[in-house]
Amino acid sequence: MSFQPALQAPAATPISQPLARAPHPLRPIMKLLSYIKQWKSAARETIARASIAAQFLSLIHITDAYICSTTLVQGPSMLPTLNYSGDVVLIEHLSHRLGKLEPGDIVVVRSPVDPKKIVAKRIVGMEGDRVTYLTEPSYSESSRTVLVPKGHVWIQGDNVYASADSRYFGAVPYGLIQGRAFLRVSISFYLVTIFSLGFCF
């Protein structure tokens, strides 16, 4: 009886572990370039928005300074035309620059006695006009006639009993006129408009 030697299973081949991949030498640079690209994109968007905002604010400034603006008129000097408690009026800034003002227009003027103060008065006389006014409103016989000099206007408040105007500081240089009032606006409309503009910002 013959015996065959027992077969031995072949030795298992060890499974080799995958080698760890070394980081690409340019990876940090590529990552940095990606960040720079994102930053440039965000910067361009910010600059574009800032440019639009600047253009809008410039338009508002130009409109307010050279075309039309609003102002709150308070005090008794323009009663009964304007309320004592205050009226918001629209002011246009073209007529006085084009020489289109005339007697009867209500204008806003930088006070010749206090440059920080803006007053609203009515034009009574233009340059070359002779204006007769009461030196004492309570006495109809206390009148005086003046000739409005060149480049000046004569302004007075509608309420002659409570108005500091040309009767006290003389004719006003044309250059002190800031604009002509052409429309009275209700306070509620004014507040709604301001709120709406503020909300848009």
For the stretch 70-73, contacts whose Cβ atoms lie closer than 8 Å and that sit 24 or more positions apart, written own/partner, are 70/185, 70/190, 71/108, 71/118, 71/120, 73/108, 73/120, 73/181
Per-residue pLDDT at 19 exceeds 60: no
Hey, what are 196's tokens?
């709406």
Query: Would residue 138 show up in a list of annotated catalytic residues for this protein?
Result: no
Which pLDDT belongs to residue 181?
94
pTM summary value: 0.67
> Domains of the chain by range and CATH?
67-200 (2.10.109.10)
Query: Can you tell me the mean pLDDT for 34-54?
Result: 84
Spatial neighbors of 166 by CB under 8 A, at least 6 apart, are 121, 124, 131, 133, 154, 155, 156, 172
pLDDT over 90 (residue 66): no
- Per-residue confidence (pLDDT) for residue 6, from 0 to 100: 54
Confidence grade of residue 201 (pLDDT, cut at 50, 70, 90):
very low
Q: To the nearest whole percent, how much of the chain has pLDDT over 70? A: 78
* Catalytic pick among 69, 77, 140, 150: 77
Contact, 100 vs 112, CB < 8 A?
Answer: no
Spot the catalytic one: 69, 121, 143, 163. 121
Query: Percentage of the chain with pLDDT > 90?
Result: 43
Give tens-digit pLDDT for 26-39: 777 777 778 888 88
| 187: pLDDT strictly greater than 90 | no
Ranking 24-33, 98-107, 146-155 by mean pLDDT, the lowest is 24-33
pLDDT of residue 188: 54
Q: Verify whether residue 40 is a known catalytic residue.
A: no
**76-80, 134-138, 150-154, 156-160: which has the minimum mean pLDDT?**
134-138
